[in-house]
Structure 1
């Protein structure tokens, strides 16, 4: 088996997966650094679950390459699964078993110590070991699934929409436990569309739309370099006050433009504020959800998957184009 990569827990390189005439994953490339919480965000049908199945080796890709902990997920699938933990959106548990019997059964596939760690996790979650799985709420079942996925102390934990359908308090507790795991050196790969929750726990985010990767960056860098500009112009006929590749999205309501931009300098903002066509310009720090909507909901993708501003007018912008 190949040696694990010290830098990347997961590496996608130009990955393609097709289902007949549908391309579910289209030329996707990204790296997941070791020891972080990495969130893959996208609407339903974006390609998140297919990407997870590909990294687990349960579907074979049609192009590109994938490495998980330095290994080929198909050729090294058996050995690799002893190093990773998985919590699917709908965990498959034997509902006639008790909570403790479930751990005892799973322990047969793992090294010594699994059952003791599983029982400790169940105790911390406050789940009665004698309860049958069918008697548990969805939140409790999710905690059983998490206990099973982590009792063998995996290097990588993969979660596919793990908080779907859970009540707010359980979701919060579930996600905060991911921060604790990353702090111990584990890597957490989280697929979700619960953007506000992800913002509290993720170190890195990747945005997918219709099978394509739109953007991938550390959350700190993404928020630091992205700004929302609210620009009131003097007339409804005035075009967008900023142009260039650094405009993520641009929308107008009456005389106000709402621009989501990247890497815009203070001097460029000052140019807009001092323009004869501008009454007022305010600068805000957008939330991850607002950034997500800018990239996914209101942008177009070019052939290389990079977002471009939605066309607004054939007129020239008020301020010079922003160069990258």
Structure 2
């Protein structure tokens, strides 16, 4: 099955700032695919390129089989999009803005929109200017999905929302994926993404440094706390760490304590086996996605590994 989104070697520069550096990815159908990165990492730039609102300096991209530069209008007709900064006509009522947008879509859009705002608990007769930020986000979501798009693109959709509205918003994304629709979610709220995402990509300073399934990533990553009897035993262990068949994501030393976040496949606990002497105690803990994300973000820059997407698919 062809990917819903395909990007090859996308690069974009704004004066001296490299917003994107050689980003390549493929997103399959029927998943919640989350792009995680700090503010300014290049998430919105990538989204604008995918929607044809911005041309890349290098590389190419396709959405739903359409070229993002040559067929951007067709992409925007078929995709649902919820931007970080909502642009809604303040003087319109909730039902009026749905009726206005219906002119751009096939018959049945407005009927579906009314059903969605009813499910979301929105008053159709309220003016947009009277709505809270959370209610406006729900209006945007209803507008974005009322033509039942194959792909929904969300840019920091839960920013500033209260806990109840945020949970309702995210759960609706899981429902769409269950219906074989695709959700592309860009965010820096890692703990929220962990609850809903199937696949995650880490974007750091415009570079895609990791793509993997969330459950696989969490299963293969562990946090260790080792407490040694003396400095000599700790130093000896630190010296052999580079030879272990594991990926060390983070390593911190505090007195006689050594904190390690490592990733490895299989069930073999290489850290435990290597630390046999001079230990006072050793403990192993599962890692949250937020801990894993932070560890990758704090690593020194390295080459892109977008090719991992082939393994995920």
TM-score normalized by structure 1?
0.89
CA-to-partner distance for each residue in 1:238-267, whole Å, 9 max, x for gaps? 332622561111111111111111116525
Which of 144-153 and 65-74 deviates more? 65-74
Cα offset, 1:277, TM superposition: 3.2
Cα offset, 1:233, TM superposition: 2.2
Equivalence map 1:110-121=2 (5 Å)? 110-121=105-116
2:241 is paired with a residue of what secondary structure?
coil
Separation in 2, partners of 1:136, 1:222: 39
The match for 1:105 is 100
Match of 2:63 among 58, 68, 73: 68
2:4 is paired with a residue of what secondary structure?
strand
**Number of matched pairs:** 298
Match status 1:145 vs 2:140:
yes
Match status 1:90 vs 2:91:
no
The match for 2:311 is none
Cα 1:22–1:252 change in 2 (3 A) is same
The 8 Å contact of residues 139 and 170 in structure 1, kept in 2 or not, is answered as: yes
Larger relative contact order, structure 1 or 2 (CA cutoff 8 Å, min sep 6) = 2
The match for 1:301 is 301
Separation in 2, partners of 1:290, 1:208: 15
The 8 Å contact of residues 272 and 278 in structure 1, kept in 2 or not, is answered as: no
Q: Return 5+ residue gaps in structure 2 as ranges.
A: 306-313
Separation in 2, partners of 1:130, 1:267: 61
1:8 is paired with a residue of what secondary structure?
coil
Separation in 2, partners of 1:113, 1:48: 33
Separation in 2, partners of 1:124, 1:81: 25
The match for 2:131 is 136
The 8 Å contact of residues 36 and 182 in structure 1, kept in 2 or not, is answered as: yes
Match of 2:43 among 43, 48, 56: 48
Q: Return 5+ residue gaps in structure 1 as ranges.
A: 1-5, 307-324
Cα RMSD after superposing both structures: 1.5
Match of 1:211 among 203, 206, 213: 206
Match status 1:191 vs 2:192:
no
Q: Show structure 1 runs of 4+ deviating over 4 A.
A: none
Separation in 1, partners of 2:103, 2:269: 64
TM-score normalized by structure 2?
0.92
